[in-house]
Amino acid sequence: MFDFLWNLGSFIVALGILITAHEYGHFWVARRCGVKVERFSIGFGKALWRKVGQDGTEYVIAMIPLGGYVKMLDERVDTVAESLKSQAFNRKTVWQRIAIVAAGPIANFLFAIIALYFMYLIGVPSVKPVIDTTLANTPAAQIKLSEYQEIITISGQKVRNWDEVNLALIGHIGEDEIDIELAPLSRLEGMDTGSRHHQLDIRHWQFDPEKQSPITSLGLGIFRPQVLPELAVVAKGSAAERGGILPGDTLMAINGSAFDSWESFVTLIQGSTGKAVLLTVKRGMQTLDVDLVPDTQIDKQGRSIGVLGVSPTQAKWPENMRISLEYGIVDSIFAAVDKTWQLIVVSFKMIAKLFTGDVSVKNLSGPISIAQGAGASADYGLVYFLGFIALISVNLGIINLLPLPVLDGGHLLYYFIEVITGRPVPEKAQEIGFRIGAAMLLMLMSIALFNDFARL
C-alpha cells in the first residue's frame, strides 16, 4: 500500500510540474502576443483552488491531475465584445498562432534542460561502462577480450556510463550495423594502449525490453563487482525471516552442497517451490542448519518460482571504475543541452521505428509505468528524480508535436497549411481531423494502458 501511495504521489508531483511548464509556455507567449488569457488550469474537473489575478486571468488547480489547459479569448468558441476582439487568439497572425501553440512543447524541452542542469550541477554518482566478456551467438561475439574493456563511443557518440550506452544503443534498433569503440581499462593506470573500433552486424539484432536490456541482448557482458555469500537484506515476512535467517548470515551450503555462486543459489531456490531446502549458514562463530520452504511467486512468464526473500552483499566497485558526472555552473548548461538533444533525437527515432515495425507497440508505456518510474527515481533521490522528469518532459513535448489534430502538432499542421495556401483550413475539415486524431490518440492510450496492466 505504501509503495502505491508513494508512486502515486511521485507521479502527481512529476506530472503537475511538467503540465505547469507546458501550459506556462502557451500562456507566456500568448500574453506576449497580446492574447487575453481567461483561464490557466492545472488539471481538469472540479476546482480545488482558484484565484483571479490582477491580469484578469483565472488561475485554477483542478481535481483530476491528468492534464491542463490555457483558455484564450477566441471568437470561434465564444462571443467576444467588440472592444476585446483585438485580443482574441483567432485575430492574431498565423505566425503568432504558430508561436503560441509551439511554445508548449518548447517549454517542455527547456524544462528538461533546467532539470538536467541541476542534476549535473549536483552530480550523478555513476560507474564507467566496462565489459568483462562477450556472449556467444550475439552480435558482440566477434569481440575477443583478454582484459576488461571500457566502452568509449557508440557510433561516434561519447558515452560515460551505462545509461548513456543504453540510450545510444536504443537509437540503432532496426539499423544494419553499429560501431563500438573499446579501450583497455588498464590504459587508465598509465599504460599507453589505444582504443579499437568494432563494427557489429545488427541486422538480426532483436530484444524484448521486458526481459533484457539492449546491452546484454547485444552480447556485452557488464562488469559487476563480486557477489558475496553474506546476506545484506532479509525481507520482512519472507520465508527466510520466518525460518530464522538474519542479515549478516553467510551462506555456506545448500542441501549439503557447498555454496558455489549466487546465480546457482537463485536457480536452486526458484526450482524448489513447495519443497524444503536445507541452508547451512555461518553466524559469527556458529554454524547453523536451517530448514526452509520457499514462498511461491509468479514471474513475468507466468511460471511458479520459489522465493526466499534475501539479497546478497556486493563487493565495492573498484575506484578506477567509479565516476561522478558533475560539472561547474557554466559546463552544466552545455551538458544539459547536449543530453536534452540526445533524448529528443532518440525519442523521434523510436517513434519512427514504431511505424516501420522495428519497435513493437508493446514498448509503449502509460501512466502506470510512469508512476512506477517516478516512485523508483524518487526513492533513489533528487538527482535521479530530476533525470526522470527531464526524460518525461522531453517525451511529453515530442508527443504533443505529433501531427494529430487534437494535439499541438495537429494545430501546427493546420497553421503551416495556412502559411502555404494563404487561407485557413476549412472548419469542417478541421472538425473531421479532430475526430480522427481523437480516435488515434485514444487507441494509442489504450495500447499503453494495456501494456501497463500486462507488466503488473
DSSP string, 7-67: HHHHHHHHHHHHHHHHHHHHHHHHHHTTPPEEEEEEEEEEEEEEEE-TTSPEEEEEEEEEE
- Tell me how far apart the alpha carbons of residues 420 and 341 are, in angstroms, rounded to a whole number: 29
Q: Which pLDDT score, from 0 to 100, does residue 187 have? A: 62
Is 335 a residue whose pLDDT tops 60?
Answer: yes
What is the predicted pLDDT for the residue at 323? 85
Q: How far apart are CA 31 and CA 97, in angstroms?
A: 12
Rama region for 371: left / alpha / beta (φ>0; ψ in -120 to 50; rest): alpha
Average pLDDT, integer, range 91-109: 93
Among 43-52, 107-116, 344-353, 405-414, the minimum mean pLDDT is found in 344-353
- % residues pLDDT > 70 (the chain): 84
Judge whether residue 440 has pLDDT over 80: no
All residues at 6 or more sequence positions from 177 whose CB lies less than 8 Å from its CB, including other chains = 199, 200, 201, 202, 203
Question: Which of 323, 394, 365, 396 is CA-nearest to residue 115?
Answer: 394
Instruction: State residue 101's pLDDT score.
Output: 93
- Mean pLDDT (the chain) is 82
Concatenate the DSSP letters of all residues of 386-451 into one string: HHHHHHHHHHHHHHHTSS-TTSHHHHHHHHHHHHHHSSPPPHHHHHHHHHHHHHHHHHHHHHHHHH
The amino acid at residue 156 is G
Task: For residue 177, indicate whether it is catalytic.
Answer: no
pLDDT tens figures, 218-263: 888 888 888 888 999 888 888 888 988 899 999 999 888 888 888 8
Q: How far apart are CA 316 and CA 239, in angstroms?
A: 28
User: Cα–Cα distance between 375 and 239 in angstroms, integer?
Assistant: 27
Choose the catalytic residue: 23, 150, 164, 181.
23
Does the structure show a pLDDT above 70 at 85?
yes
Task: Reply yes or no on whether the pLDDT at 361 is more than 80.
Answer: no
CA pair distance 155, 139, nearest whole angstrom = 15
CATH 2.30.42.10 domain locations along the chain: 124-225+316-325, 227-314
Whether 106 has a pLDDT exceeding 90, the answer reads yes
* pLDDT over 90 (residue 99): yes
More confidently predicted of 288 and 205: 288
Q: How high is the pLDDT of residue 184? A: 87
Query: Residue 196 carries which side chain, given as an amino acid letter?
Result: R
Q: 2.60.120.260, 2.30.42.10, 2.30.30.830, 2.70.70.10: which CATH number matches 124-225+316-325?
A: 2.30.42.10
The single-letter DSSP state of residue 243 is T
Q: At what angle do helices 94-122 and 331-356 cross, to 10 degrees?
A: 120
- Return the pLDDT at 211: 67
Q: Which of the four pLDDT bands, split at 50, 70 and 90, describes residue 369?
A: very low
Q: Half-sphere exposure (CA, 13 Å, Cβ side) for 372?
A: 8
pLDDT of residue 148: 87
CATH class (in words) of the domain with range 227-314: mainly beta
For residues 71-76, give the mean pLDDT: 88
Whether residue 18 has pLDDT greater than 50: yes
The rounded distance, in Å, linking the Cα atoms of 206 and 378 is 31
pLDDT number for residue 69: 86
Which residue did the predictor score with more confidence, 36 or 403?
Answer: 36
| Least confidently predicted of 267-271, 344-348, 412-416 | 344-348
Report yes or no: 395 and 105 within 8 Å, Cβ to Cβ. Answer: no
Give this prediction's pTM: 0.76
